[in-house]
Structure formats: C-alpha cells, structure tokens
Amino acid sequence: MGFGVLGVFLGLLLEVSTHGPQAVPRTSWRHQDLDLMEFSEPGIFNYSTLLLSEKQDALYVGAREAIFELSKKNVTVRNNKVQWTVADKAMRMCTLKGKSKERECLNYIRVLQVVDDEQLYVCGTHAFQPQCDYLNLADFSLKGQPEDGRGKCSFDPSQSFTTVMVDGELYSGTAYNFLGSEPIISRYSPYQPLLRTEYSTSWLNEPSFVFADVVRERRNRADGEDDKIYYFFTEVSVEYEFFGKLLIPRVARVCKGDLGGQRTLQKKWTSFLKAKLVCSMPELNFVFNVVHDVFILKGTDWRDTVIYGVFTSQWGNVGLSAVCAYNMTVVEDVFSKGKYMQKATVEQSHTKWVRYNGITPSPRPGACINNLMRQQNMSSSLHLPDKTLQFVKDHPLLEDPVLPIGNGPRLIAKDVNYTQIVVERVTALDRNIYDVIFTGTDKGVVHKSVVFEEGVHIVEEIQLLKTSEPIKTLLLSSETRSLYAGSDSSVVQSPTAFCGRYPSCDDCVLARDPYCAWDPHTAACVNIVDAPSQRLRGLIQSLNGDADKCPSVSGRLVRDYQRVTVKPGSSAELPCLVQSNLAQVMWKSNGSVLTEASRFHLIGENGLLIYSVAPEDQGQYECWSVEWAPAAGKNFSRLLAGYVLSLDLPPRPPHQTGHVTTTQESTSTHAAEGNGMTDRVPLTSDHAPPSFTATVIFTPPPQTDSSLTPPSSSTIKFQPKQHLPPSVNAPRPDKDPAAEYLQHNNSTALLFLFLLFFLLFLAALAYNCYMQYLPAPCLRVRAALLGNHKSAHQPEYRACEGGLMEASATDKINMTEQPTQNGSQSTQNLRALRDTGYETEPECGNGRIPSHSFGDDSPSQQKPFDVDCESQSIQFADADENYC
C-alpha cells in the first residue's frame, strides 16, 4: 500500500508540474556576459548583512569579523573598513562549549542599523556571545564599549533572525539563549525597559524569523491608530494535527506604542497577535507552507501597502517556489476583526486548538491604543484591564487566515528555490503602475517579473553570482537603480534593467520590461528614467508586447547575407543565436520553411547543420524567430540570420559526390536491420521542394536558471566538418512502408521492456518485503497483511507515512480521534482545503471539543488505509479519495 501513497504523491507532482502555471524567463543573462560590479576581500566571507545609506553614497556591509563602507554607486570602491574580532577568552569559552574555532566561534556581523547621521548600531554573534556596539561614521571606528547582544542578534551564525530599527528602538526576532531554543520577539529602547514575548509555545513555537518592518498608520488615520511592526516567520503549527512537524507561515504584529501591562503581562507585549499567511494553489490543493523572505512595498498611504512573500513547500523536493502578495487592509482586518483561537483540552494530556466563540473582553485584546480607548481613560497599554490582557496572553493566535491577493500566488516558478525578494513600483510610459518583483534564488540567480492583468511575465533571469550559491540578502535602490546582493563570497551590484542589451525595437518591446522603451531617434533600447523628458513622448513601449508598434525595418538585403562555401559532401554549420527563451526558431531555405529532413539538424543554440551538402542544397538560408506575445495575441517573426550556401565545386561534374553517401547509407541500413532501434526519421522527400505542407518548427529548450550554461561556442566557424549522420542519409523519393512499421515496432518493444522491468521490480520488492529484507514501513505492511487484523490500523497508518514523516506518541492519539471519514466529511475537508489552503478545524463551541463521537468508528469497521491517507490531506495535498 505504500505504493498507493507513493502514487498519490507522484500524482501530485505530476499534476502540479503539468497543470501548474509555469513561467519561463524570457531572457537569460549569464554572469560572464554582464559587466557587474563586485566586491570581496581575500580571507573575508559571509557578506550577509547589507544596509543602504539614504543620505550618503554608502552601502554598509556586515561580513565575518569585518564591516565595510562601499560606494553604493560602485561597490567595487571600498571607502572604509573596520575589523571586529573575538578576544581569546571568548573564543576559549566558545570552543569549550563544543563549537568550532574556524567557523562558529568567529564574529559574524548580523545587525547593521542606522541610529542617526553619525552612527550605526552594529551587532555580531561574537563566538556565541552576541555583542552590540556603536560604529562612528566620521572615522569609521567602533566605540569599543560592547553591550550585551542577547535577544538582538542570534548566537548561532547560521540561525535565522530579523531586526529592524524604528525611531531609535531596535525590534528583533531571534533566540534568547545559547541553544537557540528560546525564541523571542523583543524591543530594545534607550527610553524604556525591554519589552518581549511570553516564553510559551502558543506565542512562538520553534519559529524561523525571516523579516520585520514597520507600517506607519498613525499619520494618516483619524482614529489615532498606532504604527505597527510586522514580523514574518515560519513556525511549527499548534493548530493542525499532523504526523510530524507541520510548518506554518505566519504574520505577527505588535504596536509601536506598547508599554506592556501593569500587573498582567508586565514588560511583555500586550499587542502581540499572529495569524496564518496562506499561499496556495487552491485549484490543485497545493500549499506553500514555508516563507523565506518578505518585502513590504509601502505606499504613500498605509492602505496602498502590499506585502510580498516568497514561499516554498516544506517538502522541498517538489521544486516549486511561489510569490504571494497580501493587501495591507486585509491584514489589518484580520488583526482588528478576526476570531481568536483557543486551546482546549481533550482527554487528559492532549490539547487541541479550536475557534473561540465566546464573548471577547473589551477593549479588544491585542488592539493598539486608539482615540476611542483614550476617551475611556486608557491612554497606554499600562491602563488596559486585566481581563483583556489575560485574554490576549492566552489567545495570541487568530483563526482567520490572511489570504493572498487573487487567492493564489502571483508567480510560481519551477525548479528554483527563491530565497530573497525585493519589489519596486515602476510607472511605465502608459502611466500605469507596475510592481516589478526581483526574486533571488539559492543558485545565485535573480528573476525579474512583472505582474500583468493576464498573469505574470518573467522578463529575465540574471546570473548575479559567479558561483552557484544562495543569495543571502537582496536590496534595491531606486536612486542608483541597482540591485545589491550579498552572499557568502561577495557583494554584487547589478542594474535593475538591461535595456541597452536589446538590439532591436522588436526585442525591446517583446521583453515587456516597464523600465525599457525604444528610442527611434537613436535606434536604441533605453531606460525610460535615462531619457530626457522631452523625448519620452517619442519612445515606443508596449507592455503587452505588441511589436507592431515598432517602425517597420527595411528587410535585410540578400547581398548582405553571409556567404558560406563548402566542399561537396561535407557538412555546413549555420549558427543562429536566439535571445528569447519564449521564441521558436524557424529555418527557411529559398523562402520556404525547412522540415526536419535527415540532412537538416538543429544544433547548439538553434543553429542549422546540413550534412553532406549536395548541389541541390545550395541557396539562401534564413533563421527566423517566431515569438508568441500572449497579451497582444499575435506571433511576431523576425529574421535573425541569413546565409547563402554554395558549393566549392571541383572541375568535375557535381553528381559524382556519391561515394561518402553510399557508405553511410549501407551502414545505416545495417543498423536498421540489425536491432531495429535506430531513431530513423521516415523521409517524405530529400529534395526539399519549395512548397512543403507540413512545417516543423524547432523549439528551443526552455531555459531556467539551472540551464544557464555557456553555449557551445560563440565563435562562428564555417570549417567544413565530416559528420557521420545518425540516421539514414540516402535520398528516398518514395515513402518506405517498412520505415513506419519499424517505428511502430520500436515503441511497442520499448513499452514491453518497460512493463517487463516494472513487473520485475514489483516482484523483487514483494519478495524482499516478504523475506523481511526491507526496512520498517514495508515490515508494517507485511505485518498488516499477514498478521492479526485486530491491531491492523496502527501499522497501516504508519505504512501510509511511507517513511516521509516520523510519528510521535501524541500523533497516534490524534489518529484514533479522526472523525468518521464518510463521503460528505471528506468533501467538506476538501472544500475547506480549497478555501484556505489548509485543512481547517471543524467549528466548535467555546472550549468544547468537536462533537462527533469517536467510539463508533472502530478501526475494524473502516476500510484499511482509509483514515490514514485521508488525514494526510495536507501532506499529499491533493490526495484523491480513490487512492485511499
């Protein structure tokens, strides 16, 4: 039955990969082709903290044991450097605790925050004893009076954490102890005592912090609402019952004016509330449940703020990343109006989280102080009633989820792991505002995408880093129009657009890049920000990719075509470089489209290889790119290269060239007769008449970042080469029926072989399982099938786990509590899944446990595996009932 589960899982992958939305970057820029500015110093690593100065020309970089000041206009220019190493004593303490001297017990600078124009606040892990200090910008020196950095910076350099400085107060989310087991969200203020979270799993449960930032509401709200600091993290869920640890992405917030409670929640947040962030593909029941980074795109009004997050699934092998966007007013609504969740005790020790339906105390628990509360003489959190405070202490989790704009991801990318995100709002020439999303991957590549009405378009992928390593930090500066990426080995600066690299108007327009437009006067693709304002009107930009807006170019003259002369019988290689991954290549000869006859082969990046050139192959060859612009609803064809092929004819008559061809023919024929496995293409005609009915369009392989490999060669060679063709080369004017039979035979043989191997595999597996050679899950199946039937449900559910998760003791209890899985219940579950992306709790009264009885669904009454698979509907998110 493990196969059933496997089948479901594979089915899911197949479904997601075949039906899921897919986006291919239109253009791929390789690192070596771009002239990017880079900074690194020998012996210094982990350039993972970046801070852009708003006023000065400075990019501050926190690395391992060093802080740099670089020019933000050109990061290769280093203006200042200060070293911050670990003293011997601290190093000894660290190594005594079993940490490595070369790696962990160093000082990783992880916090760089602006205090004022004169100084920065800097923290480092400092050999697992985090310390903070002030950095004087005038002489770029540390004050030398380190403060305790606990709770501000992580102990462990590899542990995730986040900080943000708001009005001189440092907000952070990190671990408070050496082991990293005590998570805390806190505020360090020069004016007030430390404020922090309760140490409780209902507040924070093994969180992995990714981002925090402030959203200013106070200045444009009449109701006196406070500014808020939002935290984003992934934590282990408490509200879902699952075999292993089910991760949940969260947004939490605290109010800036919070001072803690008077008696209850003294020096603790009175405004800490958290909710689930949903990023899922409802139509496929696929959930992205790990958030890696968040960017808050702030508008002039807080209501225009959009939160962008990058997500992957906990089951990373699916290879999908998603970007979800959240409307700030929706987030605000969840926090200000959402229902609370409540811990209810089921049986003795087991607890369950259910919706709280009772009366909530007033003022609303977790709310910030506003004008209404001030009128009621509650001018600060210190005046909040104990009832409200006690309630929020016990109910920090909201039931209502934060749903993404459009109820699904803005962008889904396959075979990439996004690690970082930044977003810039660009006003295009059509006066519309577009959000341009830059996502960094774990392979050093950045994707640049634009969200259009009909869907997302990945404009380009940029190989920012020389080596395939994760982008640790990504920043964007509208002022320098640059992206800054920090990684373990270097800091890289890249322009936000590569308009100048589009050689033609068609390319410039088809790129659909809001930054770029074609300037007909200079015949160049330019960045619209660079263009003088009086020129803007003349620029050509069509963000739906309508290249018909381009001025018609006079066709290339045949006499400009490149001449290629080869000896008879040798082969000719005609290169053609297609910049767009969305374009298809079409080769024309003498004006008609070439079919893939035996002697024409696509090579390298869409070049054409003609084997054994015969006199009738002479003539014009043209390489066309056909690009489909979905938003414009049109195909755009462009001539990319033109050649005139001629034979270097010896004095003898040309029909004497047959010798080579004949030998080739005989070899191929032998091969065909020998094993029947040659991939032979039946020929309609070798003479390529000018009017072909069937056209074969050669499709270039879609390129993703992983395929950013150098092309075969950029130098163009016309050296005649002797190629042995892999297929029959002899002219066959009439169709050979044997050829078709052979082909048919081939596929049947293959299918048969495949089936045979599969059956053999099954037999081997069954035998090994029966002989107890295989590990535990199999043995449990075996026990279930052969052993006694009374305790059958236990091994079965374990078998369903299929070795993917570990079952814990409490999970077993959960299993027996699953409600009866009749049809309507499962449909309900499915529907719930579709709604929010997660299985939701059934509605329950205040503190009462769900009312369905567990007594009557004894395991023996159930079909085997029924319960087990059903309850895994999150893991195998689209688990089809039929499989179970």
Applying CB under 6 A, the residues found at the interface with ligand NAG are 37, 45-46, 74, 76-77, 157-158, 306, 316-317, 319, 327, 329-330, 376-377, 405, 415-417, 442, 488-489, 584, 589-590, 616-619, 626, 628, 635, 688, 697
Shortest Å distance, C-beta 614 to ligand NAG: 9
Shortest Å distance, C-beta 377 to ligand NAG: 4
Indicate the residue among 626 and 832 with the shorter CB distance to ligand NAG.
626
Residue bearing tokens 């006499």: 559
CA distance 546 to 786: 67
End-to-end CA distance of the chain: 9
* Full 3-state SS string of 115-178: CCCCEEEEEECCCCCCEEEEEECCCCEECCCCEECECCECCCCCCCCEEEEECCEEEEEEECCC
Contacts of 430 (CB under 8 A, 6+ apart): 541, 543
CA distance 469 to 490: 10
- β-pairing, 119-124 vs 482-486, is unpaired
The DSSP symbol for 824 reads H
Is there a cis peptide before residue 363, judged by omega within 30 degrees of 0? yes
Shortest Å distance, C-beta 419 to ligand NAG: 9
Which residue, 410, 418, 287, 412, is CA-closest to 19?
Answer: 412
CA distance 838 to 815: 18
Assess contact for 5 and 798: CB atoms under 8 A.
no
Q: Which residues pair with 186 in a beta bridge?
A: 172, 196
CA distance 375 to 361: 18
Shortest Å distance, C-beta 801 to ligand NAG: 20
Shortest Å distance, C-beta 378 to ligand NAG: 9
Indicate the residue among 67 and 830 with the shorter CB distance to ligand NAG.
67
Shortest Å distance, C-beta 273 to ligand NAG: 20
CA distance 527 to 514: 9
Shortest Å distance, C-beta 465 to ligand NAG: 11
Indicate the residue among 314 and 820 with the shorter CB distance to ligand NAG.
314
Indicate the residue among 30 and 303 with the shorter CB distance to ligand NAG.
303
CA distance 243 to 875: 9
Indicate the residue among 269 and 335 with the shorter CB distance to ligand NAG.
335
Query: Using alpha carbons only, what angle is made at residue 471 by residues 48 and 133, rounded to the nearest 5 degrees?
Result: 10
Indicate the residue among 265 and 585 with the shorter CB distance to ligand NAG.
585
CA distance 289 to 287: 6
4, two tokens: 């059933």
Contacts of 661 (CB under 8 A, 6+ apart): 569, 612, 729, 730
SS3 879: coil
Which residue, 368, 400, 357, 378, is CA-closest to 302?
Answer: 368
Indicate the residue among 76 and 177 with the shorter CB distance to ligand NAG.
76
CA distance 398 to 392: 10
Contacts of 582 (CB under 8 A, 6+ apart): 24, 26, 627, 628
Indicate the residue among 81 and 812 with the shorter CB distance to ligand NAG.
81
Residue 725 burial (CB count, 10 A): 18
- Estimate the crossing angle of helix 776-786 against helix 737-770, to 10 degrees: 80
How far are the Cα atoms of 375, 426, 478, 495, 707 from residue 450, in angstroms, in the given order? Answer: 46, 10, 16, 16, 22
CA distance 808 to 789: 23
Shortest Å distance, C-beta 46 to ligand NAG: 4
Shortest Å distance, C-beta 381 to ligand NAG: 17
Shortest Å distance, C-beta 398 to ligand NAG: 18
Q: What are the b/e assignments for 559-577, b being 16+ CB within 10 Å?
A: eebeebebebbbbbbbbbb
Indicate the residue among 236 and 813 with the shorter CB distance to ligand NAG.
236
Shortest Å distance, C-beta 6 to ligand NAG: 18
Indicate the residue among 630 and 650 with the shorter CB distance to ligand NAG.
630
Shortest Å distance, C-beta 346 to ligand NAG: 35
Indicate the residue among 376 and 675 with the shorter CB distance to ligand NAG.
376
Assess contact for 414 and 319: CB atoms under 8 A.
yes
The DSSP symbol for 204 reads -
Indicate the residue among 579 and 589 with the shorter CB distance to ligand NAG.
589
Indicate the residue among 706 and 722 with the shorter CB distance to ligand NAG.
706
Residue 142 burial (CB count, 10 A): 16
Shortest Å distance, C-beta 752 to ligand NAG: 34
Shortest Å distance, C-beta 811 to ligand NAG: 24
Indicate the residue among 175 and 306 with the shorter CB distance to ligand NAG.
306
Q: How far is CA 384 from the centre of its chain?
A: 43
Shortest Å distance, C-beta 773 to ligand NAG: 28
Shortest Å distance, C-beta 230 to ligand NAG: 16
Indicate the residue among 379 and 712 with the shorter CB distance to ligand NAG.
379
Indicate the residue among 83 and 590 with the shorter CB distance to ligand NAG.
590
SS3 383: helix
Indicate the residue among 134 and 418 with the shorter CB distance to ligand NAG.
418
Indicate the residue among 692 and 854 with the shorter CB distance to ligand NAG.
692
Shortest Å distance, C-beta 306 to ligand NAG: 5
Contacts of 32 (CB under 8 A, 6+ apart): 710
291, two tokens: 């958030």
Which residue is closest to ligand NAG by CB?
Answer: 619
Shortest Å distance, C-beta 684 to ligand NAG: 14
